[in-house]
Amino acid sequence: MEDAKKYVQRTVRYTILFTLVWFVLWALVPAWKSIVSGLAIGSAVSVYFAVSFARQAQMGAATAARGGKNKPIVPFVSRIAAIAVAVMIANKLSYPNVYALIFALLTYQVVIFVDMFVNRGQQRIPNRKG
């Protein structure tokens, strides 16, 4: 359980880091304002997804420990609402690229896959000799 908690914390931390990078680029590189602003907004929503995933994983573990059933309908609806709000913000500002925003919504999933491949060597059981 402690490994899962570290994994989730690491995922949230790296997702926030990517989001900060996009916001800094948005401020520093005005020529790429359209694409980078879409990436920044989408990545900010992805941070919400990562935190929501962490909370849902903790609630699921607690529910499984009690032997109950988990009803994940509320996080799904809130994620769809977050996507709708992000697209509405992009349309209201008129300059963020909506395609970049939708691509950046996958930031935390990409972080999970990269983290899985980077840390897979640590999870292997060492070979026993003799």
- Joined together, the tokens standing for residue 69 give 């059933």
Contact 59, 73 (CB under 8 A): no
Q: Whole-number mean pLDDT of the chain?
A: 82
Show the 3-state SS of the chain: CHHHHHHHHHHHHHHHHHHHHHHHHHHHCHHHHHHHHHHHHHHHHHHHHHHHHHHHHHHHHHHHHHCCCCCCHHHHHHHHHHHHHHHHHHHHHCCCCHHHHHHHCCHHHHHHHHHHHHCHHHHCCCCCCC
Which of the pair, 52 or 68, is modelled with greater confidence?
Answer: 52
The letter for the amino acid at 88 is M
Summarised one tens digit per residue, pLDDT across range 7-17 is 788 888 888 99
Summarised one tens digit per residue, pLDDT across range 78-129 is 888 988 998 888 888 878 888 898 899 888 888 888 888 887 766 555 555 5
Instruction: Return d(Cα 51, Cα 38) in angstroms, integer.
Output: 20
- Name the band, by pLDDT with cuts 50, 70 and 90, for residue 36: very high
Domain boundaries, the chain: 2-123
Q: What angle do CA 35, 36, 37 make, to 5 degrees?
A: 95
